Amino acid sequence: MLKTVFAVTLTLLVIIMSGRFVKYLGQVASGDFAPDVLFLVMMYRLPNFLEVVLPLGLFIGILLSYGRFYVDSEMTVMSACGMSRRRLLSYTMIPAMITAGVVGYISLVVTPSGIQAYIELLAESSSEIGVKAAVEGRFRLDKASGRVTYIEKANRDDQTMQGVFIAQPEPVIAGGRPLVSVVTAAQGRFEIDKNSGQRYLVLDDGVRYVGEPGFMDYQVTTFAQLDQLIRDSEVKTYRQELDGKDSAELWGSPALEDIAAIQWRVSLGLLVPIAALIAVSLSKTNHRRGRYGKMFPAFMIYMVYLVCLNAIRDAIAKGAWPVFPGMWIVHVAFLLLGLVLLYWDSMMRHWWLSWRRNRD
């Protein structure tokens, strides 16, 4: 079972990391951050992916390994020798509880530190990349500001650019006209102000045009040097900022968002043994169904479990669901479901014998 869990977890992790790697490569190609921080970004995000993939790997691993036992009649032999499903469950819970401890530690300690380091790395990279992230011969659109830039050639040795083109909309004053500024310069470079720490784009020997497209009253300014303040876009989302908080800070916080976040982190650890119980319950199969016969319904139950937890988290954060029972009611519901699935055959057999006895 452990070998199957390791193989499934590694496969799922490679698939998820590959997709994320492609996304980050696109961000590097568009100049969102420097290429030399790409692998650090992947490393810092790894615990965040692992805390979700590891429980799923254990769940699928139990289904596959125990399903093979049933198909090959090995479970029938063990049952004839006195191996009950209750004892099988107790054996399964040993690696499940170890996995739960690992997932809980990752969720409560490692992941927040990794996300915080990831946010700080991107913030530092966005403020220092300069010409490192410049893309030659391509128009680049900044969706946040609407700025379009083009660089004919970039020299990464002396951190300078040649043939710079910048077009961006100007701030519209109430009742004013929607103006657009276009700047062309022979060369440019990035500089950081020593006093304020802000980043500026310094352009040399160029022309600046300001006006409204379709009209001829343009303001034309020729300059020897032009300094433009670079307002870097926000590198973190609200969810990332929340997930990057230390768990000890979340425990004592009265904010609903923090309470939902800490319940989510604890829930990832509680998810593991309950998912293992459901997997043991659904792993029973026969030759006709095959070892993959119950994979789809089992996977759907697991996904519903995870989706319910995520939905309750959002509801708690918005005040639409009470803090207590919070996410714990979802764990109780699926724990009862796992127990019913595990003892369903025994309950039906007991009911049938009772009915026959009463009838006779």
**pLDDT tens per residue, range 276-325:** 999 998 888 776 777 677 788 888 999 999 999 999 999 999 999 999 89
137: left (phi over 0), alpha (psi -120 to 50) or beta: left
pTM for the whole thing? 0.73
The 10s digit of each residue's pLDDT in 45-83 is 899 899 989 999 999 999 998 888 888 888 878 888 888
The pairing of beta strand 199-211 with beta strand 219-229: antiparallel
Q: What is the mean pLDDT of the chain?
A: 83
Dist. CA 6–CA 13, nearest whole Å: 10
Measured distance CA(84)–CA(279) in Å, rounded? 16
Tell me what the mean pLDDT of segment 254-279 comes to.
Answer: 93
SS3 138: coil
